[in-house]
Amino acid sequence: MKKGNVAVLLSGRGSNFAAIVRASRRPGANFSVRLAISDRGDAAGLKKAARLGIPARHVDPGRFPGKAAYEEHLCGLMAAAGIDLVCLAGYMRLVGPVLLGRFPGRILNIHPALLPSFPGLDAQEQALRHGVKVSGCTVHFVDAGTDTGPIVAQQAVAVRPGDDVGSLSRRILRQEHRIFPRAIALFFAGRLQVSGRTVMIRGK
């Protein structure tokens, strides 16, 4: 079986990245992680990549005249690695037209809330402040908006009395680590069919 090639873009801790790599190494996995890119030199995810034996690059956006040039550079690195799918895992930047144009329908993001509720930053805190009883996480295709693209997978997580941002985030994160690799596997199995805003998961 020819495996799909994944690049992970991150800005921080990299626990989703590590979960994706672990899943890619399970027997029968249909994808492999070929590249990790961080826009921050101090991202713990870069160290995780070294430990996991995944080629990793720090690309400082500040070195480029603008977002387009920065993303052209990312696209060059990904083309050289033969990347089929880009996964945003805690990547703290809006994707611009260059990257979107080079990977149409081939960029996934993970968000720590049940979209369309609580997009953007500090989603778990937004959810707690709002007083919701259920939150969770979402994997979605990336479009030009902030957390607005077609939804691939969601997992609900109950908010418990006494939860704070830390405790709720930890429980949501455990589910992120499950649904992101699963969504990637569905993508490479050719089982995701996008029609407008709706992503249908074709049965086996």
Q: Which residues of the shown chain bind ligand GRF in the complex (CB under 6 A)?
A: 10, 12-17, 45, 89-90, 110-112, 173, 176
Q: Which is nearer to ligand GRF, 150 or 189 (CB)?
A: 150
78 or 88, CB closer to ligand GRF?
88
Give me the amino acid identity at 21. V
Q: Which is nearer to ligand GRF, 111 or 140 (CB)?
A: 111
Of 6, 51, 58, which Cα lies nearest the Cα of 33?
6
Q: How far is the CB of 195 from ligand GRF (least distance, A)?
A: 25
Enzyme catalytic residues: 111
| Tokens (6 digits) for 86 | 């880009």
Q: Supply the minimum distance, in Å, between the C-beta of residue 13 and ligand GRF.
A: 4
We find the least distance from the C-beta atom of residue 10 to ligand GRF, in angstroms, to be 6
d(CA 88, CA 176) in angstroms, rounded, equals 12
Instruction: Select the residue whose beta carbon is closest to ligand GRF and give its number.
Output: 90
CB contact at 8 A, 95 and 85: no
Indicate the residue type of 158. A
- Cα-Cα-Cα-Cα torsion 15, 48, 92, 201, nearest 10 degrees, comes to -50
- What is the distance between the alpha carbons of residues 124 and 85, in angstroms, rounded to a whole number? 27
Q: How far is the CB of 20 from ligand GRF (least distance, A)?
A: 9
Tell me how far, at minimum, the Cβ of 183 lies from ligand GRF, in Å.
13
CB nearer ligand GRF, residue 57 or residue 64: 57
Three-state SS at 173 = helix
Of the pair 44, 189, the CB lying nearest ligand GRF is at: 44
